[in-house]
């Protein structure tokens, strides 16, 4: 089971979405095996740059790095848990946030060459999984 923030049940839906995309990014980073030092640095810079949000009360990259250090063998479980969280909280998934999430995963997939078949497959799976999700402006325009 993926490691969750200490107060996961107290997180807002927006925080849950950000945490979940961080978990998918984590899964992508491990798709080709161990994460090298250079790949880890790229991962951190991408996550920090793309997921920095004033609506999230925790540092996504700090949490993801703790997970990466402890549980790289949970890649598939982490992905499945994360996409479930995204679906559960999808009413807060604005078109802009959805595009950002897709951009993050695309950047992670090509961050450290070579791009493997596993990374390509995971990217396609994510595209298919997130494509039908559309937020509700009543929630994300607040």
Peptide bond preceding 114 in cis form (omega within 30 of 0): yes
- pLDDT for the residue numbered 64: 65
pLDDT in tens, 61-95: 666 666 666 655 566 678 898 999 999 999 999 99
Q: Which of 41, 34, 39, 64 is nearest to 51 (CA)?
A: 64
pTM of the model: 0.76
Q: Do 20 and 98 touch, CB atoms closer than 8 A?
A: no
Q: What is the pLDDT of residues 14-62, one digit of tens each?
A: 888 888 888 888 788 777 666 667 777 777 777 777 776 655 555 666 6
Predicted local distance difference test score (pLDDT) of residue 74: 61
Read off the pLDDT band of 2 (50, 70, 90). Answer: very low
Q: Please, what are the domains in the chain?
A: 12-140 (1.10.3680)
């Amino acid at each position: 089971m993926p490691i969750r923030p200490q107060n996961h049940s107290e997180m807002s839906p927006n925080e849950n979405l950000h945490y979940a995309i961080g978990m998918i990014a984590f899964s992508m980073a491990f798709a080709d095996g161990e994460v090298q030092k250079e790949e880890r640095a790229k991962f951190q810079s991408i996550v920090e740059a793309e997921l920095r949000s004033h609506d999230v009360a925790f540092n996504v990259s700090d949490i993801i790095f703790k997970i990466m250090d402890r549980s790289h063998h949970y890649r598939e479980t982490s992905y499945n848990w994360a996409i479930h969280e995204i679906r559960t909280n999808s009413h807060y998934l604005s078109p802009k946030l959805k595009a950002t999430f897709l951009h993050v995963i695309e950047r992670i997939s090509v961050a450290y060459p070579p791009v493997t078949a596993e990374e390509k497959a995971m990217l396609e799976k994510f595209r298919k999984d997130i494509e039908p999700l559309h937020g509700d402006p009543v929630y994300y325009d607040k």
